[in-house]
């Protein structure tokens, strides 16, 4: 694996930096929840116009054709510039399933609108009682008498940004009598404007409306909205989850977060000395950086395999586990570093009409809600306990 920077790579880095310097300040340094729908779409359109919205796609469908090194440079520079992450549900998750397993009509219908940002997608996987054990899902899709539609009934939960979505991709049970649970599942694309769909908000511990419950009551979905064969959806779902887990690792952004934490350490005092002089805190940072470096090379190996045409394998589970653990440790150390200034925080609703100045330095603002929000990372995308089972089976052969 050669990741050395050649002259053409450095020229590409300069081009990336020039582009990122043109990004408006209001799009930088915000999470997807803080940006809202319009901010996310503005960023997506900028990338679409540049032709850089889908680095991982094949060129024939609108991908960039970048090398592994260029993808690595792009991730690093985006993290350094603190620009938003492109919402993964359309570009990174459902699109690879469509261009890999969909028919020509489906590719022509969905891919251009995902690429342009015309369609906002959300993910209909988890259900009450079917989170880590996703194959136990109970949302059912029954074929209509004329064989033209599925009638979908059930509930999906923790559906991120479903309040904005135009479409949802869902795993549904089409054969409740299949000998194995995974064999009776199909992969459907559902228009969120279809009658019978209801979205209800879930307010997170950080006080934000980011996730939702989605209810389906006699929702009619055309059969042509099914990807691939009936009852084979689990096969397609595993490919999607591999792409999702690889993306969750967030190596470049964790590197940037460590830089920011070191800056905080230089400013925060402990017994009159900068926190950066505390050997115990230094040890915690050093251990974190070592783990992150190891994770970075694992990510590069995975990117190299993808560049060679392979789908993410069980290595994506390693990325997911270590990436989320590092993210959680980072937010925990940041909260520890800012001390008492990290405790008071206000939800979006509480901030309305609030005229007082925030307590403490600017870098402390948001550290508590970010810490609380990041508790979820070891659960979503398949809990880390389940990922360890995958590693034990697929890599270690246990």
The CA distance from 30 to 39, in Å, is 10
| SS3 readout for the chain | CCCCCCHHHHHHHHHHHHHHHCCCHHHCCCCHHHHHHHHHHHHHHHHHHHCCCCCCCCHHHCCCCCCHHHHHHHHHHHHHHCCCCCCHHHHHHHHHHHHHHCCHHHHHHHHHHHHHCCCCEEEECCECCECCCHHHCCCEEEECCCCCEEEEEEEECCCCCHHHCCEEEEEEECCCCCCCHHHHEEEEEEECCCCCEEEEEEECCCCCEEEEEEEEEEEEEEHHHEECCCCEHHHHHHHHHHHHHHHHCCHHHHHHHHHHHHHHHHHCEECCEEHHHCHHHHHHHHHHHHHHHHHHHHHHHHHHHHHCCCCCCCHHHHHHHHHHHHHHHHHHHHHHHHHHHHCCCCCHHHHCCCCCCCCCCHHHCCHHHHHHHHHHHHCCCCCHHHHHHHHHHHCCCC
Report the chain's terminal Cα–Cα distance, integer Å.
29
- Residue 299 a catalytic site member: no
Catalytic residue among 244, 268, 299, 315: 244
* Residues designated as active site: 244
């Amino acid at each position: 694996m050669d990741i050395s920077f050649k002259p053409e790579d450095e020229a590409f880095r300069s081009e990336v930096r020039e582009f990122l310097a043109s990004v408006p300040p209001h799009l930088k340094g915000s999470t997807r929840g803080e940006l809202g729908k319009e901010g996310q779409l503005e960023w997506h359109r900028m990338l679409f116009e540049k032709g850089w919205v889908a680095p991982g796609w094949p060129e024939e469908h609108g991908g960039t054709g970048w090398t592994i090194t260029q993808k690595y440079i792009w991730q690093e520079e985006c993290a350094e510039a603190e620009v938003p992450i492109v919402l993964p549900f359309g570009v990174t998750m459902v699109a690879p399933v469509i261009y890999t397993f969909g028919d020509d009509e489906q590719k022509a219908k969905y891919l251009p609108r995902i690429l342009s940002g015309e369609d906002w997608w959300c993910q209909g996987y988890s259900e009450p009682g079917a989170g880590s054990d996703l194959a136990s899902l109970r949302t059912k899709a029954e074929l209509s008498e004329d064989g033209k539609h599925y009638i979908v009934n059930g509930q999906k939960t923790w559906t991120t940004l479903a309040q904005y979505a135009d479409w949802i991709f869902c795993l549904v049970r089409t054969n409740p009598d299949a000998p194995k649970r995974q064999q009776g599942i199909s992969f459907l694309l559902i228009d969120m404007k279809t009658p019978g769909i209801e979205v209800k908000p879930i307010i997170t511990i950080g006080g934000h409306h980011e996730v939702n419950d989605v209810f389906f009551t006699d929702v009619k979905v055309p059969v042509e909205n099914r990807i691939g064969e009936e009852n084979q959806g689990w096969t397609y779902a595993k490919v999607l989850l591999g792409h999702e887990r690889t993306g969750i690792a967030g190596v470049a952004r964790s590197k940037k977060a460590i830089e920011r934490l070191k800056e905080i350490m230089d400013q925060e005092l402990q017994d009159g000395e900068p926190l950066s002089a505390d050997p115990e805190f230094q040890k915690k940072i050093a251990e974190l950086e070592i783990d992150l470096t190891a994770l970075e090379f694992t990510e590069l190996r995975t990117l190299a395999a993808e560049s060679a045409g392979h789908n993410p394998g069980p290595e994506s589970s390693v990325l997911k586990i270590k990436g989320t653990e590092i993210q959680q440790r980072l937010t925990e150390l940041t909260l520890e570093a800012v001390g008492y200034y990290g405790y008071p925080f206000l939800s979006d609703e509480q901030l309305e009409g609030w005229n007082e100045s925030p307590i403490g330095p600017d870098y402390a603002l948001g550290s508590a809600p970010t810490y609380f929000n990041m508790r979820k990372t070891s659960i979503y995308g398949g809990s880390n306990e389940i990922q360890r089972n995958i590693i034990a089976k697929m890599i270690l052969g246990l």
